[in-house]
Chains A and B, each alone.
Chain A
Amino acid sequence: MLQGTVSIEGQADDLVAGDLTRHGLNLTVAEARRITELLGRDPTVVELTIFNTMWSEHCSYKSSRKILRELLPTDAPNVVLGPGEDAGIVRFAEAEDGDWYCFVIAHESHNHPSQVLPVEGAATGIGGIVRDVYCMGADVVGVLDPLRFGDPAGPSGPQVISIARGVVEGIAQYGNALGVPNLGGDIVFDGGYDENCLVNVVAVGVVKESQILRSRVPPQAEDTPYRLILVGKPTDDSGFGGAAFASEDLAGEEEANRGAVQVPDPFLKRVLTEANKRVLELARRRGATIGFKDLGAGGISCVTSEMAHAGGFGVRIDLDRVNLAPGHFPPAVISCSETQERYCLAVPGEIVDEVLAIYNDDFELPHLYHGAGAFVIGEVTRETNYRIESKGEVVCDAPVDVITTGISYERARQPRRLLFEEPELDPGRSLHDDFLAMLASPNLASKNYVYKRYDSEVQGRAVLRPGEADAGVIAPLPGRSVGLAFSVDGNPFYGVIDPYQGGALAVCEAARNVAAVGAVPATITDCLNYGNPEVEEVFWEFAEGVRGIGDACRGIGLITHEGSPIPVVSGNVSFYNQGESGKAIPPSPIIACVGIVEDYSKCRSIRWKDEGDTLYLIGEPLDELGGSEYYRTIYRTFGANVPQADFIRQRRLIKAVVEMHSLGWVLACHDVGQGGLLTTLAEMAMGGGGGELGFTLELGEIPSGLPPEKFLFSESGAFVLELPPGLEREVLALCTRNGVKLYKLGSLVSHPRLEVLSGGSRCAVWGLDELERAFLGGCRGIFGLGEV
């Protein structure tokens, strides 16, 4: 007999709505009726709560799924596992035994919780994303963190700074304690994020293809009895409703969301990670196949129903066997709570006791954290029903495929009409002062105050660290020369003017950044951060952004497999990013790109190496400064001419640069992007501080046809390369063959200064020390000890 059903069939809409609210559910009346239809009867409270989570935007992709399916390429010859499970998996090197080494990547957002409770919100973001990678059987080798904060000098300045500092602290606390290195990230400040910061997190792992674990009950359960083990923190109500919460607007009174916050614990996670390794060793030793999945949004009910569904089985859960924190929790809370640091295992009966002993005795979980431990909470059944019991009563009983049935909405879209204008350039401005102001602006200034708080050395695999080059590089396999390069990108200012270009350019920039260290882009992941999808303009922005990403992936394509797109193997959609005022954030698709480099020893830092070496620019600065740092910082306007992503040109550029790297020519290479060519040159000169080499740029010798400011600050994708002298002919031939434009800029000198001339007369000159003061100190007021 089912306990606690809610009357829906035959009830008036307002009564149903009242019941839904009373149970704290965000389901619409129509959705509740749909559930009744699917079940063929009135649902129980527990069932409604499960659907409430499963049908949240966060879990169901109900607004976005159709567009993602339609527009994003997800398959390519290197893909082992595309979107669908916790993380995507891509091959990167053949193993000695014919197996393949793969990287595992997952990308998520933790925006709303971080706005409310920055330290815990951001830490929980890292905690959740690493679980997604661990549960594929992989070792996590790094995390990256793209962040977007409000305007530190704006009306919400103090709060923005408090949130930014808290988020960085949370990422540091969790990642450092877990022992996972930080491989990179980026930070953008804009008033559009005043009420809604973005905290995206990317985790990367490495696993051998034969050792990938699946998030499902294994087929062996057909013949052997399988048990479900829940391990980790005792279940409580912290984060209850969190998945539903992530898809709601932020209410003004942040205290209202108290219950939605999860409490992260990197210590327990670290101990669990070690214990899990021993469990996997045990399973391998005993020839047992196990299923393994982390608990995220939706808790026990989500994880067990999805594991059962993926394996084609049913399960029976006994909530009385779940280890609980002190307090009294109704069955719906125990079923769906988002308590952190938990995993679920499907384990054959004969090794259950040994598995429990590893967690509870060897690693003393119950002793290290009050109430933690591993417990059998249910069993796998061949009958494909999803059944939950509590205190001897059945509180949920439905076919598994009904529980996991998706929901989909067709959202209307409407182009946003905004007028953008190009600024009138003022010839009287000082290039010298303008450029220093740009370098010191929070968006361009060095983020060393942030990344020095992260452990980028742990695990000992780092080759290029945050701040040293356009991409972070690790040597993932001891004794082998193969390297992996990582970059995250997404410039919101392009998307404000043109959301299609916002998506497309994010992919271009991320791909260029890994190419800048000589790596071949192998895959991307996306985290799509937008406002309320029920607003037609917002949904249009979203659809345009996705279209741009899809076109860029196909247009650039895999360099290694002619005709294949760059696959999107994992991702996340985050809607409802808006504050009390209802104003949506700028369209913010954020892309992570992973590149593969055959020989990491050829990956170079951006810092200039030797006097007499030659600088080249490949690619072409165009009159497309819309959304540029120059327009925004100096003219306080967005402009109109946003860069137009030219995928063929991008592919050629990337090919040419990677080729030069593999020939061993490249001494330093830096992408031209935010801040334009002059910023690129300055960053190479400073090289993170203490730069000793200088350069004079003679604009008269470069036939660009642009006014000097536009040439210097255009953000059209390009590269600056330092090559040894005497390679002119070879370089020109290579660029001609690849169909890319090449400008020889000149030679490096031992004078530590940067100079710009035009037809022999000086436009500006900077000592490297004054550049460094501006650049290295620009974020001190936000992230340093000094207060604004």
Chain B
Amino acid sequence: MTETFAGKVAIVQFPGVNCEYETAAAVEAVGAEAGLFRWNEDPGRLEDSLAIILPGGFSYQDRIRAGVVAAKDRVMDKVAELALAGRPVLGVCNGAQVLVESGMIPGIHWERIDLALAPNIMTDREGYFCTWVHLRCEESGCVWTRRFSIGSVLPVPVAHAEGRFVTEDAGVLADMRDNNQIVLRYCDSGGTVEDVFPVNPNGSVENIAGICNKEGNVLAMMPHPERATWLRQIPEDLAGAWGRKRRLAAGRADTMEGEGPGRAFFTSLIGT
């Protein structure tokens, strides 16, 4: 246990998460180093990390409410402290739920819980839903999406039962809009944001798929960019430009092993 996280991306392994390895692979695909941080290790070890990722899965089996138990773990004190100092933090799926339940997102009022990720609302269905969606990149100062141009459309899979961003505080929604904190919205393959299932796969308010803090260094997103890091991961029948690209790569394994739409989230970690 002498491993140091200096210069590495620390992936926090709460008990029950299950996307830590593909998240590490996605980080490594862009040439950064990744390391797993077990939840009960000394949080001080995160001090020199390059960035922190809270991966997807079911921390504490979603008991009580997805993300809420992990949000109260000791390591989150350190994550919040480092985030305040500007450390890039990404929460994907269950990681996003942890960030919301810990008050780090939207982070307009320090440590106050201003949002929830509520159970999905879908047509004819309830519970867990796994599918590919399209995301539109909105104008924001988020460090994790700095490689995307505004309005670009990218397909990424979602897989969750509680992914509906919602708030009881209309002021919070307005503030998030004003602060350009709404980073990603669900849209169709042409980029149109339409609040209809399954374009919006969970009934999220304003089709919100990802929200950053005011400073832009912390991002909570329900879709899984690490599952869209290679071109081969895109379903062949997917509509839109990336689906076409995937179909054209059929029979060419080298092209298939090339970059997928989600990789740029991780590329944002390196270079300038």
Q: Which residues of A contact B (CB under 8 A)?
A: 169, 172, 176-179, 265-267, 270-271, 274, 362-364, 368, 449, 452-460, 462-465, 468, 475, 478-479, 481, 599-602, 604-605, 607, 609, 664, 687-688, 690, 780, 784-786
The reply to whether B130 and A784 form a contact with Cβ atoms under 8 Å apart is no
Stretch from B82-90, B213-221, B247-255 forming part of the interface with A:
B247-255
The reply to whether A177 and B125 form a contact with Cβ atoms under 8 Å apart is no
The reply to whether B236 and A176 form a contact with Cβ atoms under 8 Å apart is no
User: Contact check: which of B57, B60, B236 meets A604 at CB < 8 Å?
Assistant: B236
Q: List 12 A-B contacts (CB under 8 A).
A: A172-B128, A177-B61, A266-B58, A271-B15, A362-B40, A452-B125, A453-B129, A458-B18, A458-B227, A460-B25, A601-B252, A601-B256
- Among A179, A463, A602, A690, chain B packs the most CB atoms within 10 A around the CB of A179
Asked whether B175 is an interface residue with its Cβ less than 8 Å from the other chain, the reply is no
Which chain B residues border A687 with CB–CB below 8 Å? 237
Q: How far is the CB of B196 from chain A (nearest CB, A)?
A: 14
The reply to whether A780 and B124 form a contact with Cβ atoms under 8 Å apart is yes
The reply to whether A468 and B235 form a contact with Cβ atoms under 8 Å apart is yes
Asked whether B16 is an interface residue with its Cβ less than 8 Å from the other chain, the reply is yes
The reply to whether B18 and A784 form a contact with Cβ atoms under 8 Å apart is no
The reply to whether A785 and B251 form a contact with Cβ atoms under 8 Å apart is no
Instruction: Given A452-B130, A458-B19, A479-B257, answer yes or no on A601-B250 (Cβ-Cβ < 8 Å).
Output: yes
The reply to whether B253 and A784 form a contact with Cβ atoms under 8 Å apart is no
By Cβ-Cβ distance, the 10 closest A-B pairs, closest first, are A179-B18, A267-B61, A481-B253, A460-B22, A784-B124, A601-B253, A605-B236, A177-B58, A457-B157, A601-B256
Instruction: Given A267-B61, A460-B25, A462-B233, answer yes or no on A784-B125 (Cβ-Cβ < 8 Å).
Output: yes
Q: How far is the CB of A363 from chain B (nearest CB, A)?
A: 7
Nearest B residue to A605 via CB reads B236
The reply to whether A364 and B233 form a contact with Cβ atoms under 8 Å apart is no
The reply to whether B128 and A690 form a contact with Cβ atoms under 8 Å apart is no
A601 to B15, CA, bound (A): 35
User: Contact check: which of B125, B159, B235, B250 meets A176 at CB < 8 Å?
Assistant: B159
Which chain A residues border B128 with CB–CB below 8 Å? 172, 176, 453-455
Within 8 A of A (CB), among B19-34: 19, 21-22, 25-26
User: Contact check: which of B56, B60, B130 meets A453 at CB < 8 Å?
Assistant: B130
Instruction: Given A460-B25, A468-B236, answer yes or no on A601-B251 (Cβ-Cβ < 8 Å).
Output: yes
Which chain A residues border B16 with CB–CB below 8 Å? 177, 267, 270-271
Which chain B residues border A453 with CB–CB below 8 Å? 127-130
A601 to B40, CA, bound (A): 41
The reply to whether B236 and A459 form a contact with Cβ atoms under 8 Å apart is no
Q: How far is the CB of B129 from chain A (nearest CB, A)?
A: 6
Q: Which residues of B contact A (CB under 8 A)?
A: 13, 15-16, 18-19, 21-22, 25-26, 38, 40, 56-58, 60-62, 124-131, 157, 159, 224, 226-227, 229-230, 232-233, 235-237, 239, 247, 249-253, 255-257
The reply to whether A468 and B19 form a contact with Cβ atoms under 8 Å apart is no
Q: How far is the CB of A451 from chain B (nearest CB, A)?
A: 8
A124 to B57, CA, bound (A): 19
Instruction: Given A178-B18, A468-B237, A687-B237, answer yes or no on A478-B25 (Cβ-Cβ < 8 Å).
Output: yes
Which chain A residues border B129 with CB–CB below 8 Å? 452-453
A282 to B124, CA, bound (A): 49
Which chain B residues border A690 with CB–CB below 8 Å? 239
The reply to whether B237 and A607 form a contact with Cβ atoms under 8 Å apart is yes
A609 to B244, CA, bound (A): 11
Which chain A residues border B56 with CB–CB below 8 Å? 458
Q: How far is the CB of A136 from chain B (nearest CB, A)?
A: 19
A179 to B93, CA, bound (A): 13
A178 to B250, CA, bound (A): 31
Which chain A residues border B226 with CB–CB below 8 Å? 460
Q: How far is the CB of B257 from chain A (nearest CB, A)?
A: 6
Q: How far is the CB of B120 from chain A (nearest CB, A)?
A: 11
Nearest B residue to A460 via CB reads B22
Which chain A residues border B13 with CB–CB below 8 Å? 274
The reply to whether B232 and A179 form a contact with Cβ atoms under 8 Å apart is no
A449 to B122, CA, bound (A): 12
Q: How far is the CB of B217 from chain A (nearest CB, A)?
A: 25
A780 to B125, CA, bound (A): 9
Q: How far is the CB of A462 from chain B (nearest CB, A)?
A: 7
Which chain B residues border A363 with CB–CB below 8 Å? 15, 38
Which chain A residues border B253 with CB–CB below 8 Å? 481, 599-601
Q: How far is the CB of B226 from chain A (nearest CB, A)?
A: 6
Q: How far is the CB of A442 from chain B (nearest CB, A)?
A: 16
A303 to B130, CA, bound (A): 37
Given contacts A454-B130, A605-B235, A687-B237, 17 further A-B contacts (CB under 8 A): A172-B127, A176-B58, A267-B58, A267-B61, A270-B58, A271-B16, A452-B130, A458-B18, A458-B56, A459-B22, A460-B233, A464-B236, A465-B235, A601-B232, A604-B250, A688-B237, A784-B124
- Among B25, B128, B237, chain A packs the most CB atoms within 10 A around the CB of B237
Nearest A residue to B201 via CB reads A452
A455 to B227, CA, bound (A): 12
Instruction: Given A179-B18, A602-B250, A664-B251, answer yes or no on A457-B130 (Cβ-Cβ < 8 Å).
Output: yes
Q: How far is the CB of B202 from chain A (nearest CB, A)?
A: 13
Which chain B residues border A452 with CB–CB below 8 Å? 125, 129-131
Which chain B residues border A464 with CB–CB below 8 Å? 236
User: Contact check: which of A459, A475, A607, A786 meets B232 at CB < 8 Å?
Assistant: A475
A721 to B220, CA, bound (A): 44
Q: How far is the CB of A229 from chain B (nearest CB, A)?
A: 20
The reply to whether A460 and B124 form a contact with Cβ atoms under 8 Å apart is no
A604 to B232, CA, bound (A): 12
The reply to whether B125 and A785 form a contact with Cβ atoms under 8 Å apart is yes
Q: How far is the CB of B247 from chain A (nearest CB, A)?
A: 7
